[in-house]
């Protein structure tokens, strides 16, 4: 069942509000750091509030979505596995710049060693 246009816009707005906590939790050097426990608790509270708003505003849509998940639970595990694999790939790809900088540092040090050795030989 597709929700009416007004509910679609409202659900999109709720989705954006659900991600506002993630956007606000970005770390900056000038901002004071909070404990990960407090950040997790804050995210939980934001999700709880947004979920409560969703249930209050669109109870039929929420009931239909829950019924669809209960009727066909076989779709959830493959989706979860695919998200886990995607997260693993994203984590590995995020390491590429770090690994690249380490490799570049090692190559740079070897190159500086060769250049330094040649300079010392040419001076003596």
Give the model's pLDDT for residue 88. Answer: 87
pTM: 0.36
How far apart CA 93 and CA 78 sit, in angstroms, is 22
Identify whether the C-beta of residue 68 lies closer than 8 Å to the C-beta of residue 1.
no
Domain boundaries, the chain: 1-71, 79-124
pLDDT along the chain (124 residues), means of 10: 63 75 68 80 92 90 86 78 84 76 84 83 76
């Amino acid at each position: 069942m597709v929700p009416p246009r007004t509910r679609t816009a409202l659900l999109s707005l709720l989705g954006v509000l659900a991600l506002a906590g993630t956007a606000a939790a970005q770390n900056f050097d000038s901002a004071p750091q909070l404990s990960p426990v407090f950040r997790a608790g804050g995210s939980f509270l934001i999700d709880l509030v947004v979920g409560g708003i969703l249930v209050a505003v669109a109870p039929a849509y929420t009931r239909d979505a829950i019924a669809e998940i209960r009727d066909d639970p076989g779709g959830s595990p493959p989706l979860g596995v695919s998200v886990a694999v995607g997260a693993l790939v994203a984590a590995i790809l995020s390491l590429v710049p770090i690994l690249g900088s380490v490799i570049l540092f090692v190559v740079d040090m070897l190159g500086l060693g060769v250049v330094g050795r040649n300079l010392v030989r040419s001076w003596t």
